[in-house]
Amino acid sequence: MTNAPIYDAAKQRITSLVEGRDPQTPVAATPGWSVKDVVAHLAGGLRDFVDRRFDGVESGEWGERQVRDRRDNSLADAFAEWDANRERAEPLFDSPMGSVLISEVIAHEHDLRAALGVPGERDSVDVRAALTKPLQQLDQRMRDNDVPALRITLEHGDRVLGHGEPAGTLRTTSFELMRAIGGRRSADQIKALDWEGDPDTWIAALALFGRHRAEPFSE
């Protein structure tokens, strides 16, 4: 499946999830943001992808700016902007940026599911697609920093990250791996997964965005 249909299906699920819900419902996975803020971020983030505006990505200011700039907008405004920006973004889905957009929208779908108490879609091909770019990034990071190779065993097969023979194994699901490397799990939660080898060898490398969640997060 190509990226655009996966993205559009997630966008439709998010639309259905939040319909009739309180837009100010807090989203614990993204502290300080409400349901409306997450949708505003998805809308604004897509515009930034189109405009190639990535200042603040490393510091976390990228997403905060999008939410702050739309603080006075309604949820309907956020969806209207998302629709408009989706049309402009069409060429991105056939570029390397497409897999980044999939990771972003699927992660936030599950943030919203947790906030609204509507879990689901955890075993879907969409979650596996959302891991494509993060696993590429992790593999490159481990190679660049001489982190010992790690075998990751998921429900659909094995993947070795890093260079050389694996020095350890992590057995988990695609969903848990997505949440762990996406900053939705604490270091202690990640260490409590099914490891062969010392997880401290890889725990820092697995913080894709530079840090793990400070407090445990269950969903």
Per-residue pLDDT tens over the stretch 64-103: 999 999 999 999 999 999 999 999 999 999 998 999 999 9
208 pLDDT band (50/70/90 cuts)?
Answer: confident
| Interatomic CA distance for residues 181 and 131, integer angstroms | 9
- The pLDDT of residue 209 is 81
pLDDT tens digits for range 157-198:
999 999 999 999 999 999 999 999 999 999 999 999 999 999
Q: What share of the chain is helix, strand, coil (3-state, %, to 5)?
A: 55, 10, 35
Dist. CA 178–CA 128, nearest whole Å:
8
Q: What is the mean pLDDT of the chain?
A: 95
d(CA 11, CA 134): 20
Cα 173 to Cα 63: distance, rounded to the nearest angstrom: 27
- pLDDT tens, residue by residue, 101-145: 999 999 999 999 999 999 999 999 999 999 999 999 999 999 999
Give the dihedral sign, CA 1/103/18/190.
Answer: positive
Model pTM greater than 0.85?
Answer: yes
- Residue spans per domain, the chain: 3-116, 127-201
pLDDT tens string 7-66: 999 999 999 999 999 999 999 999 999 999 999 999 999 999 999 999 887 777 899 999
Taking Cα atoms as reference points, which of 174, 187, 173, 177 lies closest to residue 217?
187
| CA–CA dist 8, 27 (Å, integer) | 22
Please tell me the predicted confidence (pLDDT) of residue 1. Answer: 56
Q: For residues 145 and 71, what is the distance between their CA atoms, to the nearest angstrom?
A: 39
Q: Which residue has the tokens 């936030």?
A: 108
Residue whose pair of structure tokens reads 């879990």 in the numeric block: 119
Q: Is the per-residue pLDDT at 203 higher than 90?
A: yes
- CB-CB contact of 113 with 17 (8 Å): yes
